[in-house]
Amino acid sequence: MLLYKSHSILKKMKKIFRQLKKKSPELNIQCNIVPVISFSEGKINENRIIFNIVNIDSSVDNNILYDNLKYICKELNIKIQTEGVEIIREICFTFDFDRNIYKVYYAKHESNNVSFENSPITIYNIIKSNNRDYYDDIYKKYKTERNIEKYKFMKKYNNIINYRDYEYYLEKKRNKKIVAILLKMQHSEEIDKIKLFKSLFNYFNINNDIYNNFIERYNNILYIGFSKDRVNVYLI
């Protein structure tokens, strides 16, 4: 059932993307498919995926997702409350086929200042889920000068990754508690992917017999998410 829904959602998102590009071909709008790999103790979950529509250069004057929100929500059967929302940058669906869960997020800017030199904080709010244990997860985007090492649960990952190899990070809160950090990797094609995955296999005690087959199937890394007992790798 969830597989069918994901296929249907992807078709609708591609349709929306085509319509938006037709209206404004000059805008940098993307429709992406992002595979997600989850590492936990003794286990790899490769059955997660994200579909999103992103307006890369979103601003008050370039706000095509917000301007077409009624049409988008109708196509995707979602509701986004616009009170207090001035700029919408992204709408995404996440599917976890192992746990039979999907969630829908949208990303808004916290301020109108979207200049390159002083980019705003971006907040990702969950707006829909089929999960009975529903949590209102919120992600806030922060610039690189904040100190990631202040998060206690990150210390155990010090030998896995250099925290300086990122553009910015997202702080995930659940019930006002910080539960995860997502790093947006800088120059992901330069990251030693083999070394990183090998470190994750060793850290989580995963059978190395599947390593060679695993490493050949994945390309560049977009994000890496760290929580207390799990690491998620988001790929492009």
- Which amino acid type is present at position 122? T
So what's the pLDDT on residue 188? 56
So what's the pLDDT on residue 192? 74
**Which residue's structure tokens are 């008050």?**
60
So what's the pLDDT on residue 117? 42
Over the chain (236 residues), what is each successive 10-residue block's mean pLDDT?
A: 91 96 94 94 92 90 93 94 85 92 87 49 82 74 71 86 78 88 75 82 87 76 90 89
So what's the pLDDT on residue 86? 82
Closest C-alpha among 108, 78, 74, 82 to residue 93: 78
**Which residue's structure tokens are 């060679």?**
212
Closest C-alpha among 123, 163, 122 to residue 145: 163
Structural domain spans, the chain: 1-135, 137-236
Going by the DSSP 8-state scheme, the letter that residue 121 receives in this structure is P
Helix axes 69-76, 2-23, angle to 10 degrees: 160
So what's the pLDDT on residue 12? 96
34 neighbors 188 (Cβ within 8 angstroms):
no
So what's the pLDDT on residue 106? 92
